[in-house]
Structure 1
Amino acid sequence: MISKAEFQKEIDLIIANAIREDVGDGDHSSLACIPDTAQGKAKLLVKDDGIIAGIEFAKQVFAYVDANLKIETLIEDGSEVKYGDIAFYVEGASQSILKSERLVLNAMQRMSAIATKTKSFVDLLEGTGTKILDTRKTTPGIRALEKWAVKIGGGENHRFALYDMIMLKDNHIDFAGGVAKAINLTKAYLKATMRDLKIIVEARDLNEIKEILDCGGVYRILIDNFNYEDTRKAVKLIGNQCLTESSGGINENTIRDYALCGVDYISSGALTHSVYNMDLSLKAV
């Protein structure tokens, strides 16, 4: 996993690029009709039910645009919200509030939707001991925000990108010439490059699981697209030799049954690629 400093660097880049994209050489709508001395106040109005996420990100956006903006937080990230709630007030230069508005709303609407969906999966797993993981199926350019939202919703982050963990999937295995060859080549690569990266290997059937276990040195086995019966067999076969993860089309209707097979983790791309934005508004008061 990436460090806090590396993660913050990603957030900083997202903010800088989003403001560049949206503001360009100036917010001419505001510049045309609002004096640069004008002061104002706005509220973040919730118009949906769910889990709020992105409050802390919004604070960073406001600080980037104008360090003199003042934020009064009424609701914290991860809280349940309902229609009509006010999450925060922001006060200061009217032009700065307007310049920040769209980025704050775009990010918070998406982050809140992801946190809400994640929380629903977490609730379905309650009492099983299984944790929900996100994937790399994220929106290009804002992965850090989406993975942050998963954490706010109570889920766990998988690897952040291609560089912070080794994950040998079906194509890697096939291109390398088989499971054992892919794992052995990976170990040799890590040794030669002096990299300390955890190895996850995808298994397509019980025979591949046996091959993986024979090789050893694997952090987690991805039990991919197995049915319930074979998942239980796989978990029993693996025992405590490494961690286990189920994936492959698992949804709200099947997630608990897979968890009851005894896996440590379930990963779901749906946490980030199949959500509907929470309705939020920033309104002058």
Structure 2
Amino acid sequence: MDKRIVDFIIKRALEEDKVDKDITSHFLFPKNKIVEAEIVAKDEGIIAGLDIAKRVFYLLDRKIRFKKLTSDGEKVKRGEQVALIRGDLKKILAGERTALNFLMRLSGIATLTRRFVERVYPYKVKIMDTRKTTPGLRILEKYAIKVGGGFNHRMDLSELVLIKDNHLKEIDFLDLQKRLEKIKRKKIEIEIEVKNIENFKKILSLKPDIVMLDNMKPEEVRRAVEIRNSLSKTKNPQLEVSGEINLKNVRTYASTGIERISIGLLTHSYKSLDFSLEIL
């Protein structure tokens, strides 16, 4: 991750919480009171964001010591100690909520992603995210996807030409064909969305790198795989399923022979993992 972007996100979160104006600690505690604290998991799941939590305290006070007791990507149990902290009491309390907020949310995303990855095993299909992320937090949430064993779809609009239904409504087929030839000469990857087998067959003639099968039933997806395989021994284009994918149906889709499954709920409908910070 880009350290500058991460620091910007953290600083913005600290400013939002007005950590330099913690009136509770100001009135209750003296300056430079050194304490030790622990961060404890209150749920079971995959942890992600320990370095982000560590960075929160570093940006508040470089003298704070943060010792990780596990690593991102590891499974933690309820009651497990995941980090030890030593430093100024006021600074630790000021950064507590911001650090835990990042840790809770990123761990929730990583945990849900891991569930999907395990659900499709042993099928050789990539579980991928989307751009349905929290505004301003995309770089962190996509990091959590990778921690959980998933893969990142495009980070932003500058990566990959992804032609969806709204684009196709505003351009005729011949014009699209001409424009795609220009894009291919620039060696930019192209993905096109289709919603039925008829459109899929038509789009194949454009030779995109990836075809997104959007909201298609498993039997339709299986048929698309058969058509693609009959035309290409190298399995080009890659086929991606998207739309209404959940833990109940993802394995059925994985069994069809597609290469990619993109899932929006990984970053918009996850359950945060709970953590607490306790002064020792």
Question: Do both proteins adopt the same fold according to a TM-score greater than 0.5, normalized to the shorter chain?
Answer: yes
Between the two proteins, the alignment pairs up a number of residues equal to 275
Q: Which residue of 2 aligns with 1:123?
A: 118
2:203 alignment partner, one of 176, 201, 212:
212
2:105 alignment partner, one of 96, 103, 110:
110
Q: Which residue of 2 aligns with 1:29?
A: 24
Moved more, 220-229 or 236-245: 236-245
Post-superposition shift, 1:144? 1.5
2:253 alignment partner, one of 258, 262, 268:
258
Q: Which residue of 1 aligns with 2:232?
A: none
Q: Which residue of 2 aligns with 1:231?
A: 221
Post-superposition shift, 1:39? 0.9
Post-superposition shift, 1:25? 5.1
**Contact 2:19–2:95 (Cα < 8 Å) also in 1:** no
Paired with 2:256 and 2:91, the residues of 1 have a C-alpha distance of: 52
Write the letter of the residue equivalent to 1:214: S
CA separation of 1:131/1:189 partners in 2, compared to 1, >3 Å: closer, same or farther?
closer
Would you say 1:166 and 2:151 are equivalent positions? no
Paired with 1:238 and 1:66, the residues of 2 have a C-alpha distance of: 57
Secondary structure of the structure 2 residue equivalent to 1:135 = coil
CA separation of 1:103/1:215 partners in 2, compared to 1, >3 Å: closer, same or farther?
same
Q: Which residue of 2 aligns with 1:203?
A: 194
Q: Which residue of 1 aligns with 2:78?
A: 83
1:13 alignment partner, one of 8, 15, 36:
8
Q: Which residue of 2 aligns with 1:73?
A: 68
Paired with 1:206 and 1:200, the residues of 2 have a C-alpha distance of: 16
Moved more, 16-25 or 47-56: 16-25
Paired with 1:186 and 1:41, the residues of 2 have a C-alpha distance of: 60
2:48 alignment partner, one of 37, 53, 66:
53
Secondary structure of the structure 1 residue equivalent to 2:277 = strand
Gaps of 5+ in 1: none
Paired with 2:137 and 2:13, the residues of 1 have a C-alpha distance of: 10
CA RMSD of aligned residues (A): 1.9
CA separation of 1:173/1:48 partners in 2, compared to 1, >3 Å: closer, same or farther?
same
Paired with 1:73 and 1:183, the residues of 2 have a C-alpha distance of: 53
CA separation of 1:26/1:197 partners in 2, compared to 1, >3 Å: closer, same or farther?
farther
Paired with 1:49 and 1:181, the residues of 2 have a C-alpha distance of: 53
Calculate percent identity across the aligned residue pairs. Answer: 37
Q: TM-score, normalised by structure 1?
A: 0.90
Q: Which residue of 1 aligns with 2:179?
A: 185
Post-superposition shift, 1:182? 3.7
Secondary structure of the structure 1 residue equivalent to 2:21 = coil
Post-superposition shift, 1:187? 4.9
Paired with 2:78 and 2:7, the residues of 1 have a C-alpha distance of: 31
1:136 alignment partner, one of 131, 134, 157:
131
Q: Which residue of 1 aligns with 2:59?
A: 64
Gaps of 5+ in 2: 230-234
2:151 alignment partner, one of 150, 156, 177:
156
CA separation of 1:129/1:42 partners in 2, compared to 1, >3 Å: closer, same or farther?
same
* Runs of 4+ displaced beyond 6 Å: none
